[in-house]
């Protein structure tokens, strides 16, 4: 099949269009022209991805292996290229079958022949031969070192470290990437997309799967069965274990050298392979290799995190760092860089769960002073006093929704530093005292002094009132779901309303100041410094917590927040403690909030708890350690006080509304 590459591709397309591949496969049995046939089949695979699977399902490899054993260097080179292309199958089980055929079908020992050829071949061919030889060696579970594995690994490592042969470095990195077994229908590794998905960034992986879906009718590609997934996971672990543990982690030292390359292509490929191996390394029992990997690569990943302008590269680095911080030694070493990477990780956690996991680990590290890492930027103070007090706020998606004492509800676009008003509605006739948005965040519930509860649908562009419920009593505090609304009114106890009929009164002779709902259980913060637990199925009340009673003053629970199985309660200052943290499962107090002020409002996100005092001060607490790390002085003047607090779940913004009609925003760094 003479001519240049374009001629070869054109000829291959003619063969494919004429459905000539089956005939070519039959002709492999004849000795004459065998090299040309293998060359044509190789071209067919490269110009049309469907050919690889067709050939893999029909070929008898003994003829190709005979050509490899008896051919000259040119013939052997073509055979190696062909076999390497053939095993790049998206089906792990079919790839395994082809590898087994290569190992078993030849008249001679194929692995020995490959070993001899590897030792004699030029540098540019070694990575491909070594990769094929290593795959054959790993067909059985690796228990002890073999000469084949030893030579294959040495060839790959040599190629990785040859700065004078950058093309060999690229080939070796590509080979390592394909060894993972995560291959798309065209035979290309999608290890990077899978790693990004593992780190919580799905876009690249989802786009790839969509392309694979489009090819389904053109190829024999089908959605991976459980058997395929199991085979792929098993192969990946086998390969990663051998690569990582060879010569006590020498591959990590080789990758360290690759990171130093001036080639963008080599550096990026190195990042992907290094991230994969580090990520996999921490799924195995430690054989002393983790320290080697960390010593070789930690500063490289930190450098990528700090200097790369590419989001996906930063996420890959974060995934590797997440593995390092999963054990004490690595966490302490990453902790040294906490100040340098804190803000980067805070921004990155919007796109990657790995970044959030690192932040959480660092914040709980005793040697890291979270107060030094915390900072915020004061945003604008909006004057909405024409609508009276800012009584309640909720943050949902990219919106901030506020309610006011004149009956107005405002919707703000909160994506930018300066919140922008996008909707204003006034369907309540009196003050809107409370707002609540439960999962799945498609409905807003509002309670008012006009004795109604309104249900709003949350659309892309606006909120729209869909139901009005006249509950015959003023609504001071509200929490709700599709099945029930719970609210406090004048008098003691709490009202339970199942969206029809008359609200039922659950009385426990205490005035309710705040509410929190999870499942069928309602928690009520009350006067007398107590928390009542109401079973909504039976409408019965029990005491969840009863604080110590003082002779002087009135003690009250003013604020409740539930987050990830914990309940945060804030209220009157008693013996230097104004708040407590409870485990909902055990009802045990697991932490206290030591402060000098009453806690009157509270909001919580992934990382922080914010508490507001009557003096216009917002205190910032590290949620995991329950440690106060900062405070924010608001612009409340005179006798004005903070009436409402809200934060986004990602921990990027904080909002406060006051009794003098001011709405203030902060960006959290």
The residue-averaged pLDDT of 124-132 equals 93
Q: Which domains does the chain have, with CATH numbers?
A: 1-86 (no CATH), 117-320 (1.25.10)
Using only the alpha carbons of the chain, give its radius of gyration.
33
Q: What is the reported pLDDT for 29?
A: 83
Provide the pairing of β-strand 608-612 with 601-604: antiparallel
DSSP string of 51-110, one letter each residue:
HHHHHHHH--THHHHHHHHHS-HHHHHHHHHHHHHHT--S-HHHHHHHHHHHHHSSSS-H
Strand order, beta sheet including 390-396: 390-396, 399-404, 409-413, 420-425
Which span out of 13-22, 253-262, 363-372, 625-634 was modeled with the highest average pLDDT? 253-262
Q: What is the mean pLDDT of the chain?
A: 91
Q: Is 646 helix (H, G, I), strand (E, B) or coil?
A: strand
Task: Using the CB atoms, write b or e for 591-630: b if 16+ within 10 Å.
Answer: bebebebbbbbbbbbbbbbbbbbbebbbbbbbbbebbbbb
What percent of the chain has a predicted confidence (pLDDT) above 90? 70
Report whether pLDDT(219) > 50.
no
Distance CA 154, CA 251 (A): 10
Q: What is the reported pLDDT for 638?
A: 66
Report whether pLDDT(373) > 50.
yes
Q: What is the reported pLDDT for 1?
A: 44
Distance CA 413, CA 421 (A): 6
Local confidence band at 571 (pLDDT 50, 70, 90 cut-offs): very high
Q: What is the reported pLDDT for 6?
A: 66
Report whether pLDDT(669) > 80.
no
What are the pLDDT digits (tens) for 414-438?
A: 988 889 999 999 999 999 999 999 9
Token code pair at residue 120: 């004699």
Distance CA 469, CA 477 (A): 15
């Amino acid at each position: 099949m003479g001519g240049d590459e374009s001629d070869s591709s054109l000829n291959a397309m003619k063969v494919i269009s004429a459905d000539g591949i089956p005939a070519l496969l039959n002709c492999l049995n004849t000795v004459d022209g065998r090299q040309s046939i293998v060359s044509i089949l190789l071209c067919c695979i490269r110009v049309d991805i469907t050919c690889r699977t067709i050939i893999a399902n029909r070929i008898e490899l003994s003829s190709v292996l005979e050509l490899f054993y008896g051919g000259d260097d040119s013939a052997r080179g073509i055979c190696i290229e062909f076999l390497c292309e053939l095993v790049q199958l998206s089906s792990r089980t079919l790839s395994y079958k082809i590898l087994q055929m290569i190992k078993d079908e030849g008249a001679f020992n194929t692995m020995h022949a490959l070993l001899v050829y590897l030792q004699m071949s030029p540098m540019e061919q070694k990575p491909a031969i070594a990769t094929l030889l290593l795959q054959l060696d790993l067909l059985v579970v690796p228990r002890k070192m073999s000469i084949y594995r030893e030579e294959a690994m040495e060839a790959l490592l040599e190629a990785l470290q040859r700065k004078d042969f950058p093309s060999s470095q690229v080939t070796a990195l590509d080979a390592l990437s394909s060894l993972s077994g995560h291959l798309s229908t065209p035979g290309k590794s999608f290890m990077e997309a899978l790693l990004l998905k593992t780190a919580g960034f799905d876009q690249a992986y989802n786009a790839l799967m969509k392309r694979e879906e489009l090819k389904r009718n053109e190829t024999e590609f089908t959605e991976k069965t459980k058997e395929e997934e199991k085979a792929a996971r098993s192969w990946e672990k086998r390969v990663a274990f051998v690569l990582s543990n060879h010569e006590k982690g020498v591959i990590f030292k080789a990758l360290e050298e690759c990171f130093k390359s001036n080639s963008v292509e080599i550096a990026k490929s190195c990042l992907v392979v290094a991230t994969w191996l580090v990520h996999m390394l921490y799924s195995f029992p430690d054989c002393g290799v983790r320290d080697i990997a960390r010593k070789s690569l930690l500063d490289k990943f930190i450098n990528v995190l700090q200097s790369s302008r590419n989001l996906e590269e930063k996420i890959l680095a974060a995934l590797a760092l997440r593995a390092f911080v999963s054990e004490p030694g690595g966490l302490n070493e990453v902790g040294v860089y906490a100040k340098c990477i804190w803000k980067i990780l805070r921004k990155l956690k919007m796109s990657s769960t790995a970044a959030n996991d690192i932040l959480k680990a660092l914040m709980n590290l005793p040697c890291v002073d979270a107060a030094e890492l915390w900072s915020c930027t004061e945003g604008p103070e909006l004057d909405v006093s024409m609508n009276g007090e800012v009584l309640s706020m909720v943050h949902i998606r990219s919106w901030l929704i506020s309610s006011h004492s004149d009956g107005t509800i405002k919707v703000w676009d909160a994506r930018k530093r300066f919140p922008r008003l996008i909707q204003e509605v006034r369907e309540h006739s009196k003050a809107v005292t409370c707002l609540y948005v439960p999962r799945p965040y498609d409905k807003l519930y509002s309670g008012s002094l006009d004795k109604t509860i309104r249900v709003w649908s949350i659309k892309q562009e606006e909120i729209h009132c869909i139901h009005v419920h006249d509950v015959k009593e003023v609504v001071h505090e509200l929490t709700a779901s599709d099945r029930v609304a719970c609210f406090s009114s004048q008098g003691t106890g709490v009202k339970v309303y199942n969206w029809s009929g008359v609200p039922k009164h659950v009385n426990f002779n205490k005035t309710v100041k705040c509410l929190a709902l999870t499942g069928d259980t309602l928690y009520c913060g009350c006067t007398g410094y107590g928390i009542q637990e109401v079973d909504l199925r039976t409408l019965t009340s029990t005491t969840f917590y009863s604080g110590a009673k003082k002779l002087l003053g009135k003690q009250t629970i003013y604020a409740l927040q539930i987050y990830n199985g914990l309940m945060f309660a804030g209220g009157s200052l008693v013996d230097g403690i104004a708040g407590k943290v409870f485990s909902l499962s055990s009802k045990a107090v697991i932490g206290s909030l030591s402060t000098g002020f009453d806690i009157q409002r509270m909001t919580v996100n992934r990382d922080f708890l914010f508490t507001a005092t009557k003096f216009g001060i917002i205190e910032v607490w590290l949620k995991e350690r329950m440690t106060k790390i900062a405070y924010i002085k608001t612009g409340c003047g005179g006798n004005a006080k903070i009436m409402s607090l809200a934060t986004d779940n990602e921990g990027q913004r904080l909002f406060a509304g006051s009794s003098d009609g001011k709405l203030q925003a902060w960006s959290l760094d």
